[in-house]
């Protein structure tokens, strides 16, 4: 019985928070990448390719600690995220200091 409780606890409580933290880490990573002068528009394409390589499936998405490559790509491609990253990227390649980021 403890194994069942532990498994259900992982599926219902821990994994959703873990995936949410991974999405937040992806967002921060794209902003850091942009502040270092790397084009952030590449990141969604990388996650799309990773999703193709790993073979996204609904069951794998549900049981995984990480969001699928397709989901990560979609979230990073959202207008608000990408606009913020591109703005930081343009500041970085222009040689200006980006507020909140130290290089």
Q: How many CB atoms lie within 10 A of CB 77?
A: 15
pLDDT of residue 51: 78
The pTM assigned to this predicted structure is: 0.71
For the chain, how are helix, strand and coil distributed in percent, rounded to 5?
A: 75, 0, 25
pLDDT in tens, 20-73: 888 888 999 999 999 999 999 999 998 888 878 776 666 566 556 677 888 888
d(CA 78, CA 27): 11
Q: What is the pLDDT of residue 22?
A: 84
85 — pLDDT class (breaks 50, 70, 90): very high
């Amino acid at each position: 019985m403890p194994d069942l409780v532990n498994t259900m606890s992982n599926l219902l409580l821990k994994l959703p928070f873990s995936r949410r933290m991974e999405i937040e880490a992806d967002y921060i990573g794209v902003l850091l990448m942009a502040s270092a002068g790397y084009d952030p528009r590449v990141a969604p394409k990388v996650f799309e390719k990773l999703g193709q390589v790993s073979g996204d499936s609904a069951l794998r998405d549900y049981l995984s600690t990480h969001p699928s490559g397709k989901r990560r790509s979609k979230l990073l491609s959202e207008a608000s995220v990408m606009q913020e990253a591109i703005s930081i990227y343009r500041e970085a390649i222009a040689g200006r200091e980006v507020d909140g980021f130290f290089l």
